[in-house]
């Protein structure tokens, strides 16, 4: 980790420069309309820079550049080993610019700079390296046929991939999409969230420095209802990968039907349950991870463990443990290494969280937090908040709040716990805490989610797929399986004289 003090980070932030133009066909350019919007630091309310407000005309330019690059083969027809070398260099460049990448995400969306420097930026480099190393180790197939026939089945790149990414992990989510799509040989048009476009624009610049050819990676900042919609409706986009809300994921599915039936891979909302059984031998560790599972990144995590189901016999004692951890996890300046939680991404999100909290005060027992606070008299900060004795049908337990708000619900039996955990429109992730191996396997088998973490929370790696079930969508990031989103199966059948 970069061993910097609060003042060190503030000094480096003050000296940081920002790229605000779109990156299209290897160049930074203004939006065709000339429009811009402000990128605002949610911890201070200060404008960081102005950013190009791209629209349909800019999406057209970016898609055309991506198509030209794909068709002439400057990237798509490179040997896998050659693409690998470029992406490995990009991973190295991210590491060389780790401090800058961490600051961009921290200033742009409010996350702790220490988290950005130890999780997000190193993770982005790791994922580019992982897909670079994987791409020349993925084999095609020879189908079983009769003598005189040779049937080859190859995975081929789709063409132009549109990627729409969220604001909670700006660099990482851009990487999760782009690394796999680029490794497979596609061109990419990336539309980062308007709340946090700066690290994606810097990533494009580093990609060009690493040797990614012009037109292969384009970044078009803008708003969802303009640039995002234009990308979703574009007739020359072959695939759309999306991470964000369930409602917007449904819109992209609709856009596909209204346009060219492009593949759409949505990874959407969540309301992840965390089941704590009385036979868990280390409740302190369970409480530590339960707090991490809801308060990390200010609770702005699609797989956040926001529903805490606790066996009734230990519920009161466990709630006391959680209250202590909430009180020790108060928000502060994201640039201060001593801070335990950062700022909420913007005013709109902050107000939405507080509406849910105020409504929750009428239906459940508030035992920790519940207030909006400031740091040095400014900023979008919400205390870590815990509601006890939440009814299972309460909106606190049903709706994705996307903030540091935990709902505690008691249960009496394993069957009841599993039933309540599954009774959700979402199915992204879940956690189970028990020292009974049979129970761990049995409960994990019955939970209808994409990932079950046993005696931990939110477990993921480059080697394992991340994604959900039900209205959490069916897109999968990470692992070799994500390459399936960005490739098509192509059969070449050859007749020969046996």
Catalytic positions are 267, 302
CA dihedral of 244, 42, 112, 361, whole degrees rounded to 10: -70
What region does 222 belong to: left with phi over 0, alpha with psi -120 to 50, or beta? left
Instruction: Determine the Cα angle at 427 with ends 425 and 428, to 5°.
Output: 135
Class of residue 371 by CB neighbours under 10 A (exposed 0-12, middle 13-18, buried 19+): exposed
b/e map 189-223, b = 16+ CB within 10 Å: bbbbbbbbbbbbbbbbbbbbebebbbbbbbbbbbe
Percent helix, strand, coil in the chain, to 5, is: 40, 25, 35
Q: Name, in order, each residue with C-beta under 8 angstroms of 225's C-beta and a sequence gap of 6 or more.
A: none
- Please choose, from the candidates 177, 170, 179, the residue with its C-alpha nearest in 3D space to the C-alpha of residue 197: 170
Question: Residue for token digits 């409010």?
Answer: 110
What does the block give as tokens for 42? 């949610």
Would the CA dihedral through 105, 111, 116, 117 be positive or negative?
Answer: positive
120, 168 Cβ separation under 8 angstroms: no
Q: What are phi and psi of 66, to 5 degrees?
A: -65, -40
**Coil vs helix vs strand at 350:** helix
77, 230 Cβ separation under 8 angstroms: no
Q: What are phi and psi of 192, to 5 degrees?
A: -75, 160
Long-range interactions of 76-84: CB distance < 8 A, separation 24+: 76/157, 76/185, 76/186, 76/187, 77/185, 78/185, 79/136, 80/135, 80/136, 80/138, 81/136, 83/132, 83/135, 83/182, 83/183, 83/185, 84/132, 84/133, 84/135, 84/136, 84/183
Q: Name, in order, each residue with C-beta under 8 angstroms of 378's C-beta and a sequence gap of 6 or more.
A: 43, 44, 45
Spatial separation of the C-alpha atoms in residues 186 and 197, rounded to whole Å? 22
Number of alpha carbons in the 13 Å side-chain half-sphere of residue 7 = 0
Spatial separation of the C-alpha atoms in residues 135 and 144, rounded to whole Å? 25
Question: Residue for token digits 């959490």?
Answer: 472
DSSP-derived pairing of the beta strands 187-191 and 217-219 = parallel
Question: Residue for token digits 């060190």?
Answer: 8
């Amino acid at each position: 980790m970069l061993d910097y003090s609060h003042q060190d980070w503030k000094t480096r932030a003050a000296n940081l420069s920002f790229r605000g133009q779109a990156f299209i066909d290897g160049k930074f350019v203004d939006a065709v309309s000339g429009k811009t919007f402000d990128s605002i630091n949610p911890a201070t309310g200060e404008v960081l820079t102005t950013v190009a407000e791209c629209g349909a005309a800019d999406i057209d330019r970016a898609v055309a550049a991506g198509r030209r690059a794909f068709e002439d083969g400057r990237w798509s027809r490179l040997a896998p080993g050659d693409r690998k070398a470029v992406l490995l260099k990009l991973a190295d460049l991210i590491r060389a610019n780790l401090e800058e990448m961490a600051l961009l995400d921290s200033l742009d969306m409010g996350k702790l700079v220490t988290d950005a420097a130890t999780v997000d930026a190193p993770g982005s480099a790791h994922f580019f390296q992982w897909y670079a190393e994987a791409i020349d180790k993925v084999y095609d197939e020879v189908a079983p046929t009769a003598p005189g026939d040779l049937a080859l089945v190859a995975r081929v790149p789709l063409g132009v991939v549109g990627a729409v990414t969220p604001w909670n992990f700006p660099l990482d989510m851009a990487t999760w999409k782009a690394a796999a799509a680029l490794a497979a040989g596609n061109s990419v048009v990336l539309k980062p969230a308007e709340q946090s476009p700066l690290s994606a624009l810097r990533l494009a610049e580093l990609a060009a420095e690493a040797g990614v050819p012009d037109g292969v990676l384009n970044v078009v900042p803008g708003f969802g209802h303009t640039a995002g919609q234009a990308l979703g409706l574009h007739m020359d986009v072959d695939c759309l990968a999306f991470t964000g809300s369930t409602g917007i994921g449904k819109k992209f599915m609709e856009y596909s039907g209204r346009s060219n039936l492009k593949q759409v891979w949505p990874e959407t909302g969540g309301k992840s349950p965390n089941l704590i059984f009385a036979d868990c031998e280390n409740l302190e560790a369970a409480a530590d991870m339960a707090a991490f599972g809801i308060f990390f990144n200010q609770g702005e995590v699609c797989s956040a463990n926001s529903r805490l189901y606790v066996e009734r016999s230990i519920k009161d004692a466990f709630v006391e443990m959680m209250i202590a951890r909430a009180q020790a996890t108060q928000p502060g300046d994201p640039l201060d290494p001593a801070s335990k939680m950062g700022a909420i991404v913007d005013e709109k999100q902050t107000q939405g969280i507080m509406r849910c909290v105020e409504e929750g005060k009428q239906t459940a027992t508030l035992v920790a937090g519940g207030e909006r606070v400031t740091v040095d008299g400014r900023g979008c900060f919400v205390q870590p908040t815990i509601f006890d004795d939440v009814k299972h049908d309460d909106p606190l337990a049903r709706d994705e709040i996307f903030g540091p708000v935990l709902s505690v619900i008691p249960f009496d039996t394993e069957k009841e716990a599993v039933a309540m955990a599954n009774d959700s429109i979402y199915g992204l992730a879940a956690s189970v805490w028990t020292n009974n191996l049979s129970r761990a396997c049995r409960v994990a088998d019955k939970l209808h989610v994409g990932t079950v973490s046993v005696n931990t929370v939110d477990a993921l790696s480059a080697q394992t797929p991340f994604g959900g079930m039900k209205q959490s969508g069916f897109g999968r990031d990470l692992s070799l399986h994500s390459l399936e989103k960005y490739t098509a199966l192509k059969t070449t059948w050859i007749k020969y004289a046996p």
